[in-house]
């Protein structure tokens, strides 16, 4: 590919409010138009006209860029020059397209060899740049897979996310981690493949508990030969690859042979393995007979909002489903939303051989060709009209309808809570971004600060942050000093990246009896989402009392941040939930009524921050124990560490061991056992 750029500075004038029809384009348009843009339609078209003189008459991708450098829109075209010139029509655009043209200050081009390559590049750029006027896929979580390793040690079965940097066979995707965990547990019973880590495998001297409960064949201690273990691995791979019927028939035949030979113990083992395989398939819900590998997409629109439900079918089994709520133009039809969604969805995910859709996109054949090119094999895209495939699509459509209904109701409730929260804390408007801070440590060791983020869509886990406390001058357990360090680091970086927002006048409360309107505000599909979401919080909550509030105010004042709403939440007497005291600047401490929904909401925010902080602390503590070893415990050196690992097998088993069990380890005295036991029983302390 080669890239060409043309940057033109527009002459901004009064906005043009002319009502225009939509311009056909490969990309999709974002929400309903809000106030008119500051640039004029004529100025934007003049910039585009000058750029069109340099536009190539070949396939590729074009980007509309605003004066500030933000990408407004990404589109693909079979002939870039013709597509760019289409924006020069004096009339015939919708208000949304007109506003985009008016804001355009530059146009950038990337040529490709084919239109298929342009479609793939367009999807990649939309996901990376997140232009304001495109359909945007909200997908911040990768899908889990099952991995059967093929490395130097006997194969291991495990759950895997992220880059495929380990050698082995990957099976998936699964819609949720719990589906993977259930399937792995059943596969362990069926095929007796090890799930322990390589470090644990190499340190074993006797079979672990999984061998005793018949979930592992214990290749670590030679309880099974290499040839027999390899056969179990091949059977598991065949089962996950779609040959489940052949595997079950083979096991049933072996069971009958063992019973005929009066080898009832082996027959019982094979019987249990067959039962485990049946459990895998029984837990999957709908298991189609004629569909081995497919993804099913169904779209439902209501009140101008869109839900896309995705079902994954692999090896003839239903491996779960997930609902998506893409940000899209309210007036955009379902096929157009689905087309843009699909190209972005498979940008970083493997594609199955068959994709079933509820609506046929306008460029269905081009989409299939692009996915085939990306996958390196033929991919079919179908809209079934009858039979089992149609039933699968109808089932997905029913789930999409129900999911959108739930989302509308949940978002309306969330918006009411945010409005009530603003009233309780005296905020000028319902907060769109809430940041909650907490600390966790054990007497100052492995100290971690944590920040969680919440908003109209609930918890925004992709924006959570943890802070390893770096200061070496803090006294052990100095919660005030830890909070100062966390807030200093957080807001120094925020100041370097973005200017604080100017104070805004209070907004009228959104109507609480209209779920669609509340969902528009909450999901960001209305006018408010037109501007990029500010990284600055509207409200900061701190787990602590008046001292924590004072420390936080001093930090923010030192940084010049003075307009930020800051609230400290002090735990009630005996740490009783429901009796929290709230501390705000220039306001006497107060409590909320015991059954106030706002109180429950704030408690949920604080508890999520505490959960994240404690979890981050435990991860750091375990990592330090792995790196520094159990030698950090007084009386435990390298020799006793090896003895403990040899006896229990894993660090988790040592952590869970009782005091008498620890004392049975050779070389571990009762006093040392008590130190180990007490070390793991200390609970993290939070601010």
34-48, 72-86, 518-532, 613-627: least confident range: 518-532
- 294-405 CATH: 3.30.420.10
Architecture of domain 2-129: 3-Layer(aba) Sandwich (3.40)
Q: Is the pLDDT of residue 358 over 80?
A: yes
Instruction: Report residue 296's pLDDT band, with 50, 70 and 90 as the boundaries.
Output: very high
Instruction: Report residue 516's pLDDT band, with 50, 70 and 90 as the boundaries.
Output: very low
Between 584 and 330, residue with greater pLDDT: 584
- Please provide residue 168's backbone torsions phi and psi, each rounded to the nearest 5 degrees: 160, -170
Across 20-32, average pLDDT: 35
CATH number of this structure's domain 431-501+536-616, picked from the four choices 3.90.76.10, 3.40.640.10, 3.30.420.340, 3.40.50.300: 3.30.420.340
Write down the pLDDT at residue 17.
31
User: By the 8 A CB rule, do 512 and 518 touch?
Assistant: yes
Other beta carbons within 10 angstroms of residue 289's beta carbon come to: 7
SS3 assignment, position 410: helix
Across 55-68, average pLDDT: 87
User: By the 8 A CB rule, do 676 and 629 touch?
Assistant: no
The CA distance from 563 to 585, in Å, is 11
Q: Which of 157-166, 237-246, 294-303, 493-502 has the highest mean pLDDT?
A: 294-303
Instruction: Report residue 573's pLDDT band, with 50, 70 and 90 as the boundaries.
Output: low
The CA distance from 684 to 616, in Å, is 11
Across 647-656, average pLDDT: 75
The CA distance from 92 to 362, in Å, is 20
Write down the pLDDT at residue 281.
56
Structure tokens at 264: 């009832």
Between 332 and 510, residue with greater pLDDT: 332
SS3 assignment, position 249: helix
Residue among 515, 656, 681 at smallest CA distance from 209: 656
Domains 2-129 and 629-686 share a fold: no
Long-range contacts at 264-268 (CB < 8 A, ≥ 24 apart): none
Instruction: Report residue 523's pLDDT band, with 50, 70 and 90 as the boundaries.
Output: very low
Question: DSSP code of 444?
Answer: T
Q: Is the pLDDT of residue 29 over 50?
A: no
Q: Is the pLDDT of residue 27 over 60?
A: no
The CA distance from 330 to 316, in Å, is 36
SS3 assignment, position 405: helix
Instruction: Report residue 563's pLDDT band, with 50, 70 and 90 as the boundaries.
Output: confident
213-227, 264-278, 501-515, 557-571: least confident range: 501-515
Could you tell me if residue 669 is left (phi over 0), alpha (psi between -120 and 50 degrees) or otherwise beta?
beta
Write down the pLDDT at residue 261.
79
Between 350 and 444, residue with greater pLDDT: 350
On average, the pLDDT of the chain sits at 78
The CA distance from 514 to 522, in Å, is 12
The CA distance from 568 to 582, in Å, is 6
Surface-to-core class of residue 95, CB atoms within 10 Å of its CB (0-12 exposed, 13-18 middle, 19+ buried): middle
Could you give the C-alpha distances from 186 to 248, 278, 311, 629, in angstroms and in order? 14, 9, 21, 33
**What's the angle, vertex CA 435, arms to CA 429 and CA 436, rounded to 5?**
125
Q: Is the pLDDT of residue 498 over 90?
A: no
Q: Is the pLDDT of residue 518 over 50?
A: no
Surface-to-core class of residue 140, CB atoms within 10 Å of its CB (0-12 exposed, 13-18 middle, 19+ buried): exposed
Write down the pLDDT at residue 3.
44
CA dihedral of 488, 491, 497, 503, whole degrees rounded to 10: -150
pLDDT tens-place string over residues 86-138? 888 877 777 778 888 888 888 888 888 888 888 888 888 887 788 888 888 76
SS3 assignment, position 624: helix
Q: Which fold has domain 629-686?
A: DNA polymerase; domain 1 (1.10.150)
Instruction: Report residue 434's pLDDT band, with 50, 70 and 90 as the boundaries.
Output: very high
Instruction: Report residue 139's pLDDT band, with 50, 70 and 90 as the boundaries.
Output: low
Question: DSSP code of 171?
Answer: E
Structure tokens at 288: 């189609």
Between 599 and 473, residue with greater pLDDT: 599
Q: Is the pLDDT of residue 4 over 60?
A: no
Residue among 154, 134, 169, 198 at smallest CA distance from 529: 134
Instruction: Report residue 397's pLDDT band, with 50, 70 and 90 as the boundaries.
Output: very high
CA dihedral of 216, 163, 325, 319, whole degrees rounded to 10: -30
Q: Is the pLDDT of residue 354 over 50?
A: yes
Q: Residue ranges of the domains in the chain?
A: 2-129, 145-282, 294-405, 431-501+536-616, 629-686
First-residue to last-residue Cα distance in the chain: 54
Q: In this structure, is the dihedral angle defined by the CA atoms of residues 236, 241, 245 and 247, taken in order, positive or negative?
A: negative
pLDDT tens-place string over residues 172-212? 777 777 778 877 887 888 788 898 888 888 888 888 888 88
Instruction: Report residue 453's pLDDT band, with 50, 70 and 90 as the boundaries.
Output: very high
Could you give the C-alpha distances from 443 to 440, 446, 455, 616, 685, in angstroms and in order? 10, 9, 33, 16, 8
Between 598 and 329, residue with greater pLDDT: 598
Across 307-336, average pLDDT: 83
Write down the pLDDT at residue 685.
47
The CA distance from 17 to 392, in Å, is 45
Across 392-410, average pLDDT: 87
What percentage of the chain reaches a pLDDT higher than 70?
82
3-12, 309-318, 588-597: least confident range: 3-12
Enumerate the H helices of 91-168 as residue ranges: 95-103, 115-129
């Amino acid at each position: 590919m080669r890239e060409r750029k043309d940057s033109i500075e527009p002459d901004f004038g009064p906005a043009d409010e002319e009502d225009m029809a939509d311009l056909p384009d490969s990309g999709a348009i974002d929400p309903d138009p809000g106030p008119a843009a500051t640039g004029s339609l004529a100025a934007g078209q003049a910039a585009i006209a000058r750029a069109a003189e340099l536009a190539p008459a070949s396939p590729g991708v074009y980007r509309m860029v605003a004066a500030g450098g933000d990408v407004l829109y990404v589109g693909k075209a079979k002939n870039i020059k013709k597509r760019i010139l289409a924006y020069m029509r004096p009339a015939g655009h919708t208000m949304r397209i007109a506003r985009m043209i008016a804001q355009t200050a530059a146009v950038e081009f990337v040529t490709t060899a084919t239109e298929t390559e342009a479609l793939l590049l367009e999807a990649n750029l939309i996901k990376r740049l997140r232009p304001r006027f495109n359909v945007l896929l909200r997908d911040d979580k990768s899908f889990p897979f099952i991995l059967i390793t093929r490395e130097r040690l006997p194969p291991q079965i495990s759950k895997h996310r992220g880059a495929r940097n380990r050698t082995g066979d990957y099976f998936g995707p699964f819609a949720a981690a719990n589906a993977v965990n259930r399937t792995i547990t059943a596969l362990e019973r069926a095929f007796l493949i090890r799930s322990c880590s390589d470090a644990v495998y190499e340190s074993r001297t006797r079979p672990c508990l999984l061998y005793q409960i018949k979930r592992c064949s214990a290749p670590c201690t030679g309880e099974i030969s290499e040839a027999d273990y390899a056969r179990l691995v091949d059977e598991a791979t065949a089962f996950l690859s779609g040959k489940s019927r052949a595997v079950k028939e083979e096991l049933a035949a072996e069971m009958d042979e063992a019973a005929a030979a009066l080898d009832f113990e082996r027959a019982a083992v094979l019987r249990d393995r067959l039962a485990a395989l049946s459990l895998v398939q029984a837990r999957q819900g709908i298991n189609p007979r004629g569909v081995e590998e497919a993804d099913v997409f169904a779209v439902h629109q209501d009140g101008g909002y869109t839900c896309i439900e995705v079902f994954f079918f692999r090896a003839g089994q239903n491996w779960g489903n997930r609902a998506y709520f893409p940000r899209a133009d309210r007036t955009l039809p379902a096929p157009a939303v689905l087309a843009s969604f699909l190209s972005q969805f498979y940008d970083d995910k493997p594609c199955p051989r068959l994709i079933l859709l509820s609506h046929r996109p306008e460029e269905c054949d081009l989409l299939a060709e692009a996915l085939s090119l990306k996958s390196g094999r033929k991919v079919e895209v179908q809209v079934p009209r009858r039979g089992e495939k149609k039933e699968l699509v109808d089932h997905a459509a029913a789930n999409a309808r129900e999911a959108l209904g739930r989302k509308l109701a949940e978002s309306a409730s969330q918006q009411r809570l945010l409005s009530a929260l603003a009233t309780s804390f005296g905020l000028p408007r319902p907060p769109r971004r809430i940041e909650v801070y907490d600390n966790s440590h054990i007497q100052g060791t492995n100290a971690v600060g944590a920040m969680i983020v919440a908003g109209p869509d609930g918890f925004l886990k992709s924006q959570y942050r943890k802070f390893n406390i770096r200061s070496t001058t803090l006294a052990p357990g100095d919660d005030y000093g830890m909070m100062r360090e966390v807030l200093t680091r957080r807001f120094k970086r925020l100041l370097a990246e973005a200017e604080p927002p100017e104070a805004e006048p209070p907004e009228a409360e959104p109507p609480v009896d209209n779920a669609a309107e509340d969902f528009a505000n909450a999901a960001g599909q209305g006018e408010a989402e037109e501007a990029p979401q500010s990284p600055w919080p509207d409200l900061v909550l701190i787990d602590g009392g008046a001292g924590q509030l004072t420390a936080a105010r001093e930090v923010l004042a030192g940084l010049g941040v003075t307009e930020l709403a800051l609230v400290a939440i002090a735990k009630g007497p005996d740490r009783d939930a429901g009796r929290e005291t709230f501390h705000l600047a220039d306001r006497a401490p107060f409590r909320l009524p015991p059954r106030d929904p706002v109180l429950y909401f704030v408690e949920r925010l604080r508890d999520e921050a505490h959960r994240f902080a404690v979890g981050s602390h435990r991860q750091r503590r375990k990592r330090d124990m792995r790196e520094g070893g159990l030698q950090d415990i007084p009386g435990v050196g390298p020799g006793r560490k090896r003895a403990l690992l040899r006896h229990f097998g894993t660090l988790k088993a040592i952590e869970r061991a009782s005091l008498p069990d620890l004392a049975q380890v050779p070389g571990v005295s009762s006093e040392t056992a008590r130190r180990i036991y007490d070390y793991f029983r200390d609970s993290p302390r939070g601010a």
